Amino acid sequence: DTGVSQDPRHKITKRGQNVTFRCDPISEHNRLYWYRQTLGQGPEFLTYFQNEAQLEKSRLLSDRFSAERPKGSFSTLEIQRTEQGDSAMYLCASSLGGGRALSPRNEQFFGPGTRLTVL
Amino acid sequence: GQSLEQPSEVTAVEGAIVQINCTYQTSGFYGLSWYQQHDGGAPTFLSYNGLDGLEETGRFSSFLSRSDSYGYLLLQELQMKDSASYFCAVSLNYGGATNKLIFGTGTLLAVQP
């Protein structure tokens, strides 16, 4: 396993269109996170899964955003009716952990990201 | 709300030592991490402090003072390849159910020959 992968790496779309991104985490990792990063800023937390359960969703995530992790493996992030403000790098990360047995190092492994441009 | 502050830019020369500071105001604090991100690349983990004190990993060290809500990343024997953005990130923990990261705005380190 070479790490977290994301597809596509780049996506250009027109305002109003729907887009879907895929993330494949490191195979044994039960936790999966989505972040959004704009130029000159740090990644912003969007949502988090433990196995197939979506446990937290940021208030940044409007109703146009939805994420799934149907079998506790890969995850998809869909943005409906895209807006120019959605243009950003969408990062996926995965880690080991569960309940109170948090990884001492709390290390999250990030994928290369999907760069979305909304015209 | 949650906020982290770090300098926006730091410049240093090859072989030098540089310290990047981070102060934070958060609730549910669990630990402080540091990530490196090269231009166009993915963030990669450098170091983590769950307890007060110094953690050393090769040329990189990180320090945490929970009472001061302060930490720093120390990079020694700087190399050109260390030119990158460095982010501090707070792990939030609410009853052990999540360890999401809240990132600072990043410090752009430029290493000059």
pLDDT digits (tens, 9 = 90+) for A14-25: 999 999 999 999
Answer yes or no: do B43 and A43 touch at CB < 8 A. Answer: yes
In this predicted model, which residue has the larger pLDDT, B100 or A88?
A88
| Alpha-carbon dihedral sign for residues A48, A53, A58, A63 | positive
Cβ pair A69, A75 in contact under 8 A: yes
What pLDDT sits at residue A101? 45
Answer yes or no: do B99 and A102 touch at CB < 8 A. Answer: yes
What pLDDT sits at residue B96? 52
pLDDT at residue B99 is higher than 90: no
Tokens representing residue A68 in the block:
């799934």
What pLDDT sits at residue A2? 74
3-state secondary structure string across chain B: CCEEECCCEEEEECCCCEEEEEEEECCCEEEEEEEEECCCCCCEEEEEECCCEEEEECCEEEEEECCCCEEEEEECCCCHHHCEEEEEEEEECCCCCCCCEEECCCEEEEEEC
pLDDT at residue B33 is higher than 80: yes
What pLDDT sits at residue B26? 86
Answer yes or no: do B93 and A102 touch at CB < 8 A. Answer: yes
Tokens representing residue B66 in the block:
């929970």
Which residues of chain B have a CB within 8 Å of the CB of A113?
A: 42
Mean per-residue pLDDT, B26-35 = 88
* B102 → closest Cβ in A45, A91, A111: A45
Residues of A with CB under 8 A from a CB of B: 4, 31, 33, 35, 40-45, 48, 55-56, 91, 95, 97, 99-100, 102-113
In this predicted model, which residue has the larger pLDDT, A60 or A50?
A50
CA distance B16 to chain A (A): 25
What pLDDT sits at residue A103? 56
pLDDT at residue B86 is higher than 80: yes
Mean per-residue pLDDT, B30-48 = 93
Q: Which of A99-113, B14-28, B36-50 has the lowest mean pLDDT?
A: A99-113
Please give the Cα distance from A66 to A73 (Å, whole number).
Answer: 17
Hey, which residues does B44 pair with through a beta bridge?
B36
Q: What is the pLDDT of residues A69-117, one digit of tens each?
A: 998 899 999 999 999 999 999 999 999 875 444 556 678 999 999 999 9
* B96 → closest Cβ in A91, A102, A107: A102
Per cent of chain A over pLDDT 90 is 75
Mean per-residue pLDDT, A44-53 = 92
Please give the Cα distance from B101 to B68 (Å, whole number).
Answer: 20
Work out the pLDDT band at B5, boundaries 50, 70, 90: very high
- Average pLDDT over chain A reads 91
Work out the pLDDT band at B29, boundaries 50, 70, 90: confident
CA A71 from chain center: how many Å?
A: 16
Reduce the DSSP state of residue A13 to 3 states and report it: strand
Work out the pLDDT band at B1, boundaries 50, 70, 90: confident
What pLDDT sits at residue A104? 60
Of the candidates A47, A49, A50, A88, the one whose C-alpha atom is nearest the C-alpha of residue A65 is: A47
Which residues of chain A have a CB within 8 Å of the CB of B104?
A: 42
What pLDDT sits at residue A100? 43
